[in-house]
Amino acid sequence: MCGIIGYTGGKQAAPVLLKGLERLEYRGYDSAGIAVINNGNINAIKTAGKISALAEKTDGGSKLTGTTGIGHTRWATHGAPSDVNSHPHLSENGEFAVVHNGIIENFAELKSELTAHDVHFTSDTDSEVIAQLLQYLYDGDMIRTLRKAVTRLIGSYAIGIIHAYSPDTVFAVRKDNPLVVGLGSNENFIASDFAAALEYTHDFVQLDDGDIAKLTPRAVTFYDANGKSAVKTPYRVDWDISQAEKDGYPHFMLKEIYEQPKAITNTVRPRVKGNEIVLDRIQFDAGNVNRIERIDIVGCGSAYHAGIVGKHFMEKYCRIRVNCELASEYIYSDPITDCRTLTLVISQSGETADTLAALRLAKKRGSHTIAIVNVMESAIARDADDVLYTYAGPEIAVATTKGYTTQVAALYLIGLKIAKIKHTVSDARYNELLKELLDMPKKIEVLLSDISDIKSYAEKFSDRKCVFFIGRGTDYAASLEGALKLKEISYIHAEAYAAGELKHGTISLIEKGTATLALITQSDLYTKMLSNIKAVQSRDGTVVAVSSQANTKISETADGMLVIPVCDDDVTPILTAVTLQLFAYYTAFERGCDIDKPRNLAKSVTVE
């Protein structure tokens, strides 16, 4: 969702801001703008549409002179995407410019209050109220004014501000929305995430809720919610900026699909010492593991789907009941949870608003929380009792790929660890599964070495109106993710169904031309799945099976086959995921879709 960048230093700010905005493009946006201070005046240029349009309108930034400024990519919530609704928003007197990510829930009340004091608004956004409020409250001291302003704001926000009479200074404040401060050499940054400033620095500070930061080129001062100056400890991000570039691939999504062998290696390998699983600093021992009566897994989108795969694995091997919940449902379900429930919160970005709210609720009710997160020092990683990072590296494409498969791998590690402690898995089986996990990167490489069949089925099905994905057990869990991937990026209607449920309704939708991908990787369910395939074919549907060569009968029955390398049944969802990611990618490619930035979607969903 919205992206924020701010700069103060020795360079011309506008080109730096434009570059930063490009790095934030992946978050999803529909308009963009920048504002720069020049000799006590704030000049802003904004536009609906792409950053490239903004770059054109500003002549690569050269139309805005000055070394301090803020920029924004907007994902519309209040008010249509348009030039005037784009950020930065200026106060009526032009002295304050504001960029905002989040939602000001009481903006209507504040707007009427300010309008009654003769303040004139120009946009339909909730965010403009912040700029107008700052102007209205300004008492000559920016920190005091900011503190007063935030006490009036209800909702969630990350805000960057420049003030015409505070030369060389960028201010920032946050609550429930991501914002980092990048510490450079004689230059400093604010950004929604560190990718925007990684080119200039690897040292960052996370702002906590209520914190205010004041940045000048040579110093950054932090104030806590009470206005007291606060000491913050920077952390170093060792991601390389080249990891956030396409590196010759036509899309980030394809690059990230191909990065999965490395991402899984980085996630699994450091946690396996001999045949022991050591989950960083997470303390799992007989005492706390045997107290776990239930595991709740919470996430959104693909993270939720990873959770469903994890549920199958954990229930089988840990013999603990596992509930997998959508975070947006969990938070309003009055969840029954306490210290006997372990809550696993999954999020690639670590910033998803619903998932963060779910984590806080679970914690408040006494549950022990472990976050499975990719982005270091993100809100979810920081708030959870424990964190297990997936070392997938930066993920730029909106539709997650390596983020998802590393989440699944992390869940397998946690499941195996708990099962070993509980003695609910035999030593032999534990060793087999661990070996399978360690071998997984090689199997993905084999899969990626020949994708011609995937490409040709993607081409063949790219004109379909609807594609079904069916499977049983863990294959059904994997189907959910396959269907989501296809609809996200190709805009083809796709649905996943538990194969056994087809006959209870969905089969009425099967007609000549309906394409179905049937996942068949579970040996004990082969025969049942073969019957389901036949049932679809009897209604003139076309079925392509996703399976390994180990099951010879499938190629005789299905209309086609996408072969995955032979693999233990219990960990195949990683391999089927890679196949279905590629299927979605090439289908979307064939249809000419904007694969990395699908319409209406955002990578980091920071509003509920």
Is 302 a binding residue for ligand G6P by CB under 6 A? The answer is yes
How far is C-alpha 131 from the chain's CA centre? 29
Cα–Cα distance for residue pair 367/360, rounded to 1 Å: 10
Nearest to 358 by CA among 395, 392, 325: 325
CB of 601 to ligand G6P, least distance (A): 5
Helix-strand-coil split of the chain, %, nearest 5: 40, 25, 35
List Cα–Cα distances, 460 to 251, 448, 586, in angstroms.
21, 20, 10
CB of 400 to ligand G6P, least distance (A): 4
CB of 95 to ligand G6P, least distance (A): 37
Residue nearest to ligand G6P (CB): 301
In this chain, which of 267, 355, 390, 581 binds ligand G6P, going by CB under 6 A?
A: 355
CB of 302 to ligand G6P, least distance (A): 3
Stretch that binds ligand G6P, among 104-112, 134-142, 348-356, 547-555 (CB under 6 A): 348-356
Is 348 a binding residue for ligand G6P by CB under 6 A? The answer is yes
Residue 201 or 302: the one with the smaller Cβ distance to ligand G6P is 302
Note whether 454 and 581 are within 8 A (CB): no
CB of 232 to ligand G6P, least distance (A): 24
Stretch that binds ligand G6P, among 184-192, 214-222, 298-306, 534-542 (CB under 6 A): 298-306
CB of 357 to ligand G6P, least distance (A): 12
Is 310 a binding residue for ligand G6P by CB under 6 A? The answer is no
Cα–Cα distance for residue pair 92/136, rounded to 1 Å: 10
For residue 421, give both structure tokens.
């402690």
List Cα–Cα distances, 424 to 37, 368, 417, 437, in angstroms.
64, 21, 10, 19
Is 192 a binding residue for ligand G6P by CB under 6 A? The answer is no
Is 301 a binding residue for ligand G6P by CB under 6 A? The answer is yes
Residue 75 or 284: the one with the smaller Cβ distance to ligand G6P is 75
**Active site (catalytic) residues:** 2, 603
Stretch that binds ligand G6P, among 103-111, 177-185, 228-236, 597-605 (CB under 6 A): 597-605
Cβ-count burial 338-375 (b if 16+ within 10 Å, e if not): eeebbbbbbbbbbbbbbbbbbbbbbbeeebbbbbbbbb
Stretch that binds ligand G6P, among 143-151, 248-256, 345-353, 498-506 (CB under 6 A): 345-353
CB of 381 to ligand G6P, least distance (A): 11
SS (H, E, C) 486-555: HHHHHCCEEEEEEHHHHHHCHHHHCCCCCEEEEECCCHHHHHHHHHHHHHHHHCCCEEEEEEECCCCHHH
Query: From residue 156 to residue 175, what is the string marking binding to ligand G6P with x (rule CB under 6 A)?
Result: --------------------
Is 260 a binding residue for ligand G6P by CB under 6 A? The answer is no
Contacts with ligand G6P in 388-407 (CB under 6 A)?
Answer: 398-400
Is 347 a binding residue for ligand G6P by CB under 6 A? The answer is yes
Contact residues for 306 (Cβ-Cβ < 8 A; gap 6+) = 299, 346, 404, 407, 408, 411, 481
In this chain, which of 349, 367, 514, 547 binds ligand G6P, going by CB under 6 A?
A: 349
DSSP letters spanning 335-370: ----TTEEEEEEESSS--HHHHHHHHHHHHTT-EEE
CB of 384 to ligand G6P, least distance (A): 13
Q: Report the run of H or E that residue 109 belongs to, with start and end.
A: helix 107-116
For the chain, the residue count is: 608
Is 601 a binding residue for ligand G6P by CB under 6 A? The answer is yes
Residue 301 or 310: the one with the smaller Cβ distance to ligand G6P is 301
* Exposed / middle / buried, residue 594 (Cβ in 10 Å: 0-12, 13-18, 19+): exposed
Note whether 533 and 519 are within 8 A (CB): no
Is 462 a binding residue for ligand G6P by CB under 6 A? The answer is no
Cα–Cα distance for residue pair 101/208, rounded to 1 Å: 15
In this chain, which of 54, 532, 603, 607 binds ligand G6P, going by CB under 6 A?
A: 603
- Could you tell me how many residues of this chain bind ligand G6P (CB under 6 A)? 15
Is 580 a binding residue for ligand G6P by CB under 6 A? The answer is no
Stretch that binds ligand G6P, among 111-119, 151-159, 200-208, 598-606 (CB under 6 A): 598-606
**Binding residues vs ligand G6P (CB under 6 A):** 300-303, 347-349, 352, 355, 398-400, 601, 603, 605
